[in-house]
Structure 1
Amino acid sequence: MGRYGEQLWSPDPAAPLRGRRVGVYRPYCPDLLASYPPVLQEDLVSRAMAIEAGIRSLSATAAVGLDRVAGFLLRSEAIGSSRMEGIRVAPQQVALAEFAVGAGPDTVVEGFSTGARRVARNITALRQAVTDVARAGTITVDGIVSLQRTLLPGHRSTGPRTVQTWLGGSEWNPLDAAFIPPPASAVGRLMADLATYASEGPHPPLIQAGLVHAQFETIQPFDDGNGRVGRTLIHTVLARRGLLGRAVLPVSLVFMTRPREYVRALTAFCHEGPPNSMVARTALNQWLTFFLDAVVVAVEEARTFTAELAELRRSWDVRLSAFRNRTTAPRNRPWEPSVSDRLLAALSESPVITEVSAARLLDVPPQAAWAAAEELVAAGILRRRQIGRGTIGYLSREVSDLLSSAERRLTSVK
């Protein structure tokens, strides 16, 4: 599993007097994964493969195909992952920030916080993780660093860290830290090995994804963004192994509602001992059991999301039909799917639109997109709101509310 080393801490002369302590600290250095792949219990591997079979069938059995709600699932995962870092933002603000990211420089979008912008970057990083990084010939350290750069544009220092970091305790020294990752001198070798294992690991996809995540969080290779990047790598592995297409599982949404169990299981992963000893296998089993339990819940949440979105779409159809029956003579009703109907189908992926974005999305003239959005407002499906100087947005609050209800549901059953 790994080993604890011993290092002498010399205080920073710039530290306040109370922070100038000298002492021994113990960084943890995990074993290499690609060079020494762990031997796992057969029942754990069998369970992982059974869960994978359920994931593969999810798209076919879900109320709507997962690829059609990929944007919604990406949003749910990014919100969960960001909340684990203390970034708590209402889903509707996230939808606004996400829209702003893709709106282009000519569209001014306001009304969302800095935190919402950070979650929107997390969504972009997730999308990058399951496309560019997952589809590359091999997963590389540079590819992983690119995810950090997407999360933290303009950050003072991206890429593998060059100093010792630690979690918990004093900001000035690691002597009372809860966890101390490997020395900076070991990060390059460990990350190269991690990238090789993520590309070529011999284990089933879910086992591989769980080990990549735990190893990354143990290495803590960056000075910022480790948690969010580490969780995106789960989806990189699953996408690379073909378990899902553009969609992701809301695993972080589950982690978020089980923070103590998550930390306890990751802590167990850092047990000291020979790689394939009974102690090491027990520690691995504790982490992977927690991880697989979380995936099972995430699969059910994805299934619930798709069913809820399908039901929401049916309710929109009923409302739109009722509105048309009240306002349109029968002979004038459209027999072909209208622009409004096509816009309804896009709302789960794009809960915030404008006349311009809807026109681009549906490949129709702006006037037709505006008329469709206004019809959905009149039918009680969209809300009109000024989202920037000279920019009128159309928002679906009901799509965002599904994410809030999921958090309440998960919290109540954990």
Structure 2
Amino acid sequence: MSRSTGSIVTTTTLGESVHAFVPNPLPPTAPPVAPESYAADNRAAELALARLNGVSGLVPSEDWLLYAAVRKEALLTSQIEGTQATLDDLFENEAGIEVDNADDVEEVTNYLRAFRFVRENLQADDGLPISARLICEAHRLLLDGVRGAGKQPGELRRSQNWIGGTRPGNAVFVPPPPERVPELLADLERFVHREHGELPPLVKVALVHAQFETIHPFLDGNGRMGRLLISALLEHWSLMQAPLLYISGHLKRHQAEYYRLLSSTRTEGDWEAWIAFFLEAVAAAAAQAERTIVDLATLITNDRRRLLESPKAGAVAYRLFESLPMMPRFTVEQVKQRLATTYPTANAAVKALADLGIVREMTGQRKNRSFGYQSYIDLLSA
């Protein structure tokens, strides 16, 4: 479909004259995106999200579902950008256990901080709304003390960036010149807050993500911020009761197609193909999250039953077990502090779970031991 997507402007950066792309404001026009092009996919995605919202009731606490889902999304969105951290690494780090790739883990941890900041603001009566200011403050947390920390964390870029290629002249894509970024983000902010009765919320999320990636307002961290916006908007627009969706898993598995279709919105104005891909990603990710919740609920129910049937397990062992979904890697000292008990009592509780095969010792050492609810971590990592 042929439509005007934006304008090409000539700018100079690093001594080279390059053609930068300035997108038109949303929504796409001339012609607009036809509802029949996304209606069926949108219904399927909304149904998948409704099923995911419903299945969360299978577990006694949504908190541990949220703990796991947000960390998985943080990990996967960071892996798209090249980090090598795993869920085991992240859980070990949270347990105070030293990990080899500490820098990668810190990037994932920063994403968690940035996402928590955005979520708390959107939930608070006096918090910041979806806005350039909120995005900049979250970006500051995202790049704090990690790779990219020297690239103006929390500040809109003041120089030209580019995507792909070794220099601006052979780049795959050159985003808008820096002086155009504030007005483009203001346009995007107005689109987010404008009523669009004819556009379903999921379609709006797809448009917002693509437009943010095209504007590329920061020198680093744009992809993670753009995907953070997806999670924030899904909950903010009541598509999710809580951020239980880790869409970055699907985007990572189809990374080449993800980037190609984002590009096609600029080069060909093919918003329909991008929206279809995004809606399919939501439906697939929701179905995957639903299966994972069912599997986790089954695992925990079966392990709880084994624990309750054990004559050797006492009250502290039960309390430890109920803490495992939000403490899947731990030391005895950590159990002592979490359960406010003595070291011998904590050690006995850990031993009771280890004897049943629910947790296992991970180091093979007699000192500085750590333990893991590994079957739980393995299900999450699948």
Give the alignment's TM-score, normalised by structure 2.
0.84
Match of 1:89 among 82, 85, 92: 85
1:59 Cα deviation from its structure 2 partner = 2.7
Match of 1:373 among 350, 353, 366: 350
Q: Name the residue aligned to 1:5.
A: 8
Match of 1:217 among 209, 213, 218: 213
Are residue 296 (structure 1) and residue 283 (structure 2) matched? yes
DSSP-derived class of the 2:170 partner: coil
1:46 Cα deviation from its structure 2 partner = 5.5
1:58 Cα deviation from its structure 2 partner = 2.3
DSSP-derived class of the 2:358 partner: coil
Q: Which ranges in structure 1 are unaligned for 5 or more consecutive residues? A: 13-21, 101-108, 273-279, 406-414
AA paired with 2:130?
I
**d(CA) in 1 for partners of 2:20, 2:181:** 12
Q: Name the residue aligned to 1:106.
A: none
Q: Name the residue aligned to 1:52.
A: 46
**d(CA) in 2 for partners of 1:205, 1:369:** 48
Are residue 310 (structure 1) and residue 304 (structure 2) matched? no
Contact 1:138 1:199 in 2 (8 A): no
Contact 2:328 2:374 in 1 (8 A): yes
Q: Deviations over 1:393-412 (max 9, x none)?
A: 4322222212332xxxxxxx
Q: Deviations over 1:67-94 (max 9, x none)?
A: 5411111122112111111112222012
1:311 Cα deviation from its structure 2 partner = 1.9
AA paired with 2:132?
V
Contact 1:34 1:193 in 2 (8 A): no
1:233 Cα deviation from its structure 2 partner = 0.4
Match of 2:273 among 282, 286, 289: 286
Match of 1:147 among 138, 148, 165: 138
Q: Name the residue aligned to 1:110.
A: 98
1:243 Cα deviation from its structure 2 partner = 2.1
How do 1:69-88 and structure 2 match up within 5 A?
Answer: 69-88=65-84
Q: Which ranges in structure 2 are unaligned for 5 or more consecutive residues? A: none
Q: Name the residue aligned to 1:16.
A: none
Q: Name the residue aligned to 2:111.
A: 122
**d(CA) in 2 for partners of 1:199, 1:140:** 9
Contact 2:13 2:168 in 1 (8 A): no
Count of equivalent residues:
363
How do 1:201-212 and structure 2 match up within 5 A?
Answer: 202=196, 203-212=199-208
DSSP-derived class of the 2:233 partner: helix
Q: CA 1:195–1:354 in 2, change beyond 3 Å: closer, same or farther? A: farther
Q: CA 1:199–1:350 in 2, change beyond 3 Å: closer, same or farther? A: farther
Relative to structure 2, which stretch is displaced further, 49-58 or 184-193? 49-58
Q: CA 1:92–1:10 in 2, change beyond 3 Å: closer, same or farther? A: closer
Q: Name the residue aligned to 1:339.
A: 316
Q: CA 1:213–1:268 in 2, change beyond 3 Å: closer, same or farther? A: same
Structure 1 vs Structure 2 CA RMSD:
2.9
DSSP-derived class of the 2:244 partner: coil
Q: CA 1:198–1:369 in 2, change beyond 3 Å: closer, same or farther? A: farther
**d(CA) in 1 for partners of 2:188, 2:284:** 27
Give the alignment's TM-score, normalised by structure 1.
0.78
1:10 Cα deviation from its structure 2 partner = 5.6
